């Protein structure tokens, strides 16, 4: 069988399709103190919020929901039974979250600020001390290296002088 006789099955690449989702209505929400949000996620596929700029999250702020109902897209492979099974086994998860506002007294804020500033001052002192130790160690290492170099140079000079004296003694 020659190369030309081989039958090559060419399968087209699977098409990726987008499933678009948009919540139409949110009702029966609890009365809470703070901000309500809906978080969307899916176990396998990436859910993307369709906006003018790339969003970092898939969060819907419910205070703006009625005026702006965001659309999300989910990309899957067309006619892929595995993708279909994954989607059916792991549906889109919609989670209602409450961002509670934590109220802190002015005294607590001032106390925490003072503690953080004291820690920052302490850390800066420790860092400066460590820099000084490091600089001193480098200086000492340079001094030792220079001393070794000068000692080695002196040894070379002595050996040259001794060699010259020996050769001078040999001539006499």
Shared domain for 119 and 153, answered yes or no, is: yes
Domain count within the chain: 2
Shared domain for 95 and 110, answered yes or no, is: no
Domain boundary (54, 75, 99) is at 99
Question: Which residue(s) pair with 76 in the sheet?
Answer: 17
The answer to whether residues 26 and 65 touch, using CB atoms and an 8 Å cutoff, is yes
| Triad 84, 85, 91: Cα angle to 5° | 85
Shared domain for 66 and 83, answered yes or no, is: yes
The answer to whether residues 57 and 2 touch, using CB atoms and an 8 Å cutoff, is no
pLDDT tens, per residue, the chain with 172 residues: 556 566 666 677 778 888 888 888 888 888 877 788 888 888 877 788 887 666 667 788 888 888 888 888 888 888 888 888 888 888 888 888 887 777 788 898 899 999 999 999 999 998 999 888 888 888 888 888 887 777 766 666 666 555 555 555 555 5
What DSSP assignment string belongs to 141-161? HHHHHHHHHHHHHHHHHHHHH
Domain boundary (84, 99, 114) is at 99
Token digits for 165?
């004296």
Domain of 28 in residue numbering reads as 10-99
């Amino acid at each position: 069988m020659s190369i030309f006789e081989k039958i090559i099955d060419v399968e087209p690449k699977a098409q990726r399709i987008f499933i678009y989702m948009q919540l139409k209505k949110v009702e029966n929400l609890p009365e809470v103190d703070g901000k309500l949000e809906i978080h969307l996620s899916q176990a396998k596929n990436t859910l993307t919020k369709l906006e003018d700029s790339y969003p970092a999250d898939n969060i819907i702020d419910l205070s703006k929901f009625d005026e702006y109902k965001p659309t999300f897209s989910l990309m899957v492979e067309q006619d892929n039974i595995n993708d279909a099974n994954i989607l059916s086994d792991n549906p889109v998860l919609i989670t209602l979250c409450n961002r509670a506002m934590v109220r802190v007294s002015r005294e607590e804020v001032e106390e925490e600020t003072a503690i953080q500033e004291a820690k920052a001052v302490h850390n800066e002192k420790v860092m400066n001390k460590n820099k000084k130790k490091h600089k001193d160690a480098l200086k000492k290492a340079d001094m030792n290296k220079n001393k070794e170099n000068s000692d080695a140079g002196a040894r070379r000079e002595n050996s040259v002088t001794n060699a010259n004296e020996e050769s001078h003694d040999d001539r006499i």
